[in-house]
Amino acid sequence: MNDRFGINIKQYCRAHEAEVRAQKATPALLETHLLRLHWLQHERLVHLIVLVMTVLTELFTVDLAVLHPETNPLAAVVMLLLAVLLGFYFWHYFFLENTVQRWYKLADSLRRDMESAPDADQGR
């Protein structure tokens, strides 16, 4: 696998989720899932920090473009470009946040399945 420009996080998340759902709940599977959940939480945190910094930059350019139009007409162009970038950032962050929340539920499901598995084996 040659990921020259990084991984496709959406494909990575979908593949992991499908893999976890297809397997029997075991402590090793839960450990692997929790490790990947930790990685995704880190990814989400990094994107939140970048998102906040981009919002602050956008607010600064809005200030320049709207309140001080004499400073530079380029500020209006930068403001519009950052607005488009923010739209994509919010969309990606929304995906990361929802995936983390879904993976919390998946981890809980794995724990429940592991707890109920010995009871099912005793009845046989």
Check if the beta carbon of residue 64 is closer than 8 Å to that of residue 75: yes
- Residue 6 is classified by DSSP as -
Q: What is the pLDDT, as a whole number, of residue 63?
A: 86
Q: What is the distance between the alpha carbons of residues 101 and 105, in angstroms, rounded to a whole number? A: 7
pTM reported for the whole predicted model? 0.80
Q: What is the distance between the alpha carbons of residues 86 and 64, in angstroms, rounded to a whole number? A: 18
Nearest alpha-carbon partner for 39 in 19, 22, 16, 20: 16
Q: What is the pLDDT, as a whole number, of residue 72?
A: 74
Report the half-sphere exposure of 17 (CA within 13 A, side-chain side).
16
Question: Tokens 């707890």 belong to which residue?
Answer: 115
Q: What is the pLDDT, as a whole number, of residue 118?
A: 65
pLDDT by position in tens, the chain (length 124): 567 778 889 999 999 999 999 999 999 999 999 999 999 999 999 999 999 999 999 999 888 888 887 777 788 888 899 999 999 999 999 999 999 999 999 999 999 999 987 655 544 4
